[in-house]
């Protein structure tokens, strides 16, 4: 089935927020009443007060992460990046960019010339065995892909600066020094946590000895989204990812960034990679966790971690919906109790199914929903079954969109700028038929009166963002070299 692009949302798309069926199960809920669809899905419907409480938890977690004394114990780490300014649109140069985000690994060749941006890119697979193998295998694989890409683009004998969008939690010690704190999103390569990923990449490149690339910058995908949108819209001050995982970055004052150890020159600000996916690791979100969230967490390879992320992002949303559907099915509230092997398989209900099912909206022929059922080998169902599954998907995705909105509203209130654009990237946001609208609605409700905001889709942020940061780093490095040469009486260009 084709993915649904935001620009092609069917006209009849409707956010399904109600269901008024009367099915009752012979099974009983914990309060002794018969199970109904309503009481099974109820934990996903959070009140305004719940979302306000989540915002309080969030602000508290952000401040703990920013504080020198509190950071070590904080769940949300609020890593200062070494990116301080948004682009001014004059960036130029040819840059190689790597984008390792969780689901895809891409290599891009980007030419920047002011507002003009040209890119060529290729997606490479990271086999499961490498995702959970050793770090050496991972970086050897990446180096091999770089070699292939350079060969295909006749770049083997060129020296070309490289920017790496590496979207895992890193403590940065410089623009090109990033220590991985821990893997997330299904990666678990031995010997990388606690190490500088740029050094590991350079070592792999040296082991090959047949390419000449120098990694000048490591950025997070959130910073990529922010930078790429800021390239067009200078009001962009937040970057948001809703893809395999979720995360956000924003522009903070140096004054509030107690862990800042770089220079204090102008501008007195720095981008903070919040790593907000870890919100709740300290139990602060237990009050909204459903049994389904607990199961998803328990069966993940990082149990107890990334609690907020697991309630929101693409790696987990389909599975949450599947667990609810299975609960209803077993209670004979769906499919007359009859499922399929596929529906019973962990991870088999993809998050894209949620988008597809919801895109049916008011279509009473349930075209997409039925197509998903066919893919899951479900053959016996009624229209009511279709409606219930749509309702479940809608509640799970709405909660995700609202939770992400609570995070964004917390950042907007904290920054307190009159007008902010939020650069957003990731397949969940891009392809879900209602995510954008749901977020606009909820952020508007939660943000302080008077603050204006805009959610802007970032096009290829991970590539373009890395290219912009790298091009600037490259220019500064060349300028520094030229100055040094001038000082030592060496003519430039030698
Ligand atoms: P990454 O986060 O690795 O950079 P993406 O932004 O492409 O990659 O996000 C991948 C995630 O998006 C996967 O978890 C996948 O389930 C989810 N996804 C892919 N297609 C869709 C879709 N049509 N609707 C919702 N989620 C989707
Ligand atoms: Mg990505």
Number of structural domains in the chain: 2
6 belongs to a structural domain = no
C-beta of residue 267 within 8 angstroms of C-beta of residue 84:
yes
230-276 pLDDT, tens digit each: 999 999 999 999 999 999 999 999 999 999 998 898 899 999 999 99
Domain that includes residue 110, residue range: 88-219+460-488
222: nearest Cα among 200, 189, 245, 199: 245
Residues 285 and 412 in one domain: yes
d(CA 145, CA 141): 6
User: Rounded to 5 degrees, what are φ and ψ at 69?
Assistant: -75, -30
Residues with CB under 6 A from ligand 1: 3-4, 101-104, 243-244, 314-315, 350-352, 355, 426-428, 431-432
Instruction: Reduce the DSSP state of residue 399 to 3 states and report it.
Output: helix
Residue 190 has pLDDT above 60, yes or no: yes
10 belongs to a structural domain = no
At residue 492, the pLDDT reads: 67
Ligand 2 being an ion, which residues bring their Cβ within 5 A of it? Answer: 101, 221, 243, 462
At residue 1, the pLDDT reads: 37
Residues 388 and 439 in one domain: yes
- The residue whose CA is least distant from atom 7 of ligand 1 is 427
Burial code (b: 16+ CB inside 10 Å, e: under 16) for 139-155 equals bbbbbebbbebbeeeeb
Instruction: Assign 493 a pLDDT band (cuts: 50, 70, 90).
Output: low
473-489 pLDDT, tens digit each: 888 888 888 888 888 88
189 belongs to a structural domain = yes
Residues 74 and 193 in one domain: no
Measured from the alpha carbon of residue 221, the closest ligand is 2
Of 361 and 67, more confident: 67
d(CA 408, CA 441): 12
Residue 5 has pLDDT above 90, yes or no: no
Q: What is the CATH number of the domain that holds 206?
A: 3.30.420.40
d(CA 55, CA 1): 37
123-168 pLDDT, tens digit each: 999 999 999 999 999 999 999 999 999 999 999 988 899 999 999 9
Q: How far is the CA of 86 from the centre of ligand 2 (A)?
A: 20
For 197, which DSSP code?
Answer: H
197 belongs to a structural domain = yes
At residue 30, the pLDDT reads: 83
Question: Which residue from 104, 165, 243 has its CB within 8 A of the most atoms of ligand 1, so it is best to mutate?
Answer: 243
- The residue whose CA is least distant from atom 4 of ligand 1 is 101
Mean pLDDT of 194-205: 98
Residue 199 has pLDDT above 90, yes or no: yes
Residues 313 and 387 in one domain: yes
Residue 3 has pLDDT above 80, yes or no: no
148 belongs to a structural domain = yes
* Intra-chain end-to-end CA distance of the chain, in Å: 56
Residues 94 and 235 in one domain: no
Residues 406 and 263 in one domain: yes
Residues 6+ apart with CB under 8 A from 242: 312, 313, 314, 404, 424, 425, 426, 428, 429, 435
212-233 pLDDT, tens digit each: 999 999 999 999 999 999 999 9
d(CA 328, CA 340): 14
Measured from the alpha carbon of residue 396, the closest ligand is 1
Q: How far is the CA of 369 from the centre of ligand 2 (A)?
A: 27
- The residue whose CA is least distant from atom 11 of ligand 1 is 244
Instruction: Assign 103 a pLDDT band (cuts: 50, 70, 90).
Output: confident
Residues 314 and 445 in one domain: yes
Residues 313 and 392 in one domain: yes
Residues 160 and 195 in one domain: yes
Residues 6+ apart with CB under 8 A from 81: 172, 219, 220, 223, 249, 270, 271, 272, 273
Ligand 1 atom with least separation from CA of 351 = 16
Q: How far is the CA of 435 from the centre of ligand 2 (A)?
A: 17
HEC assignment per residue over 184-198: CCCCCCECCCCCEHH
Q: What is the CATH number of the domain that holds 319?
A: 3.40.367.20
Residues 306 and 422 in one domain: yes
8 belongs to a structural domain = no
2 belongs to a structural domain = no
Give percent of the chain above pLDDT 90. 82
Instruction: Assign 11 a pLDDT band (cuts: 50, 70, 90).
Output: very low
d(CA 266, CA 36): 60
Residue 12 has pLDDT above 50, yes or no: no
**What residues act catalytically?**
185, 221
At residue 331, the pLDDT reads: 96
C-beta of residue 208 within 8 angstroms of C-beta of residue 116:
no
311-337 pLDDT, tens digit each: 999 999 999 999 999 999 999 999 999
Residues 155 and 234 in one domain: no
Quote the mean pLDDT of the chain.
93
378: nearest Cα among 353, 408, 404, 406: 353
d(CA 392, CA 426): 22
472 belongs to a structural domain = yes
Residues 452 and 314 in one domain: yes
Instruction: Reduce the DSSP state of residue 93 to 3 states and report it.
Output: strand
Between the alpha carbon of residue 163 and those of residues 9, 213, 255, the distances in Å are 34, 10, 28
Token pair for residue 27? 């099974």
């Amino acid at each position: 089935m084709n993915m649904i692009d935001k620009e092609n949302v069917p006209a009849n798309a409707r956010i399904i927020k109600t269901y008024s069926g009367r099915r009752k199960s012979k099974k009983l809920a914990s309060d002794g009443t018969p199970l109904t669809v309503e009481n099974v899905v109820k934990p996903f419907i959070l009140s305004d007060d719940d979302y306000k409480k989540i915002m309080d938890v969030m602000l508290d977690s952000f401040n703990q992460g920013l504080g020198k004394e509190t950071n070590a114990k904080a769940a949300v780490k609020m890593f200062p990046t070494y990116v301080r300014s948004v682009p001014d649109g004059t960036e130029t140069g040819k840059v190689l960019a790597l984008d390792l985000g969780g689901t895809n690994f891409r290599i891009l060749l980007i030419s920047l010339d002011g507002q003009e941006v040209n890119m060529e890119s290729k997606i490479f697979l990271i086999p499961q065995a490498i995702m959970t193998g050793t770090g050496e295998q991972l970086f050897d694989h990446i180096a091999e892909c770089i070699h292939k890409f350079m060969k295909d683009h006749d770049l083997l004998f060129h020296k070309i600066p490289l920017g790496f969008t590496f979207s895992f939690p890193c403590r940065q010690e410089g623009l090109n020094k990033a220590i991985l704190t821990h893997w997330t999103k299904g990666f678990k390569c031995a010997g990388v946590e606690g190490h500088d990923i740029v050094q590991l990449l350079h070592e792999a490149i040296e082991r090959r000895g047949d390419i000449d690339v120098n990694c000048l910058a490591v950025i997070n995908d959130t910073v990529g989204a922010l930078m790429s949108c800021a390239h067009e819209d200078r009001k962009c001050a937040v970057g948001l990812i809703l893809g395999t995982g979720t995360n956000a970055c924003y522009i903070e004052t140096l004054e509030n960034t107690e862990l800042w150890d770089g220079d204090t020159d102008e501008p007195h600000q720095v981008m903070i990679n919040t790593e907000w996916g870890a919100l709740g690791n300290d139990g602060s979100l237990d009050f909204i966790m459903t049994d389904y969230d607990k199961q998803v967490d328990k069966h993940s390879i990082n149990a107890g971690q990334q609690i907020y992320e697991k309630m929101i992002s693409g790696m987990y949303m389909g599975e949450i919906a599947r667990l609810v559907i299975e609960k209803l099915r077993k209670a004979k509230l769906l499919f007359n109790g009859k499922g399929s092997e596929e529906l019973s398989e962990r991870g088999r209900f993809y998050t894209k199914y949620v988008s597809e099912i919801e895109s049916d909206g008011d279509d009473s022929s349930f075209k997409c929903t039925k197509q998903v059922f066919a893919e899951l080998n479900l053959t016996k169902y009624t229209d009511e079954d279709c409606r219930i599954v749509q309702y479940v998907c809608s509640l799970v995705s709405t909660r995700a969109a609202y939770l992400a909105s609570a995070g964004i509203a917390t950042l907007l209130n904290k920054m307190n700028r009159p007008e902010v654009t939020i650069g957003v990237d990731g397949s969940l946001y891009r392809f879900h038929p209602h995510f954008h609208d749901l977020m606009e609605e909820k952020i508007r409700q939660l943000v302080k009166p008077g603050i204006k905001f805009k959610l802007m889709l970032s096009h290829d942020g991970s590539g373009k963002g890395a290219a912009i940061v790298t091009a600037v780093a490259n220019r500064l490095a060349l300028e520094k070299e030229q100055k040094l040469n001038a000082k030592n009486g060496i003519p430039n260009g030698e």
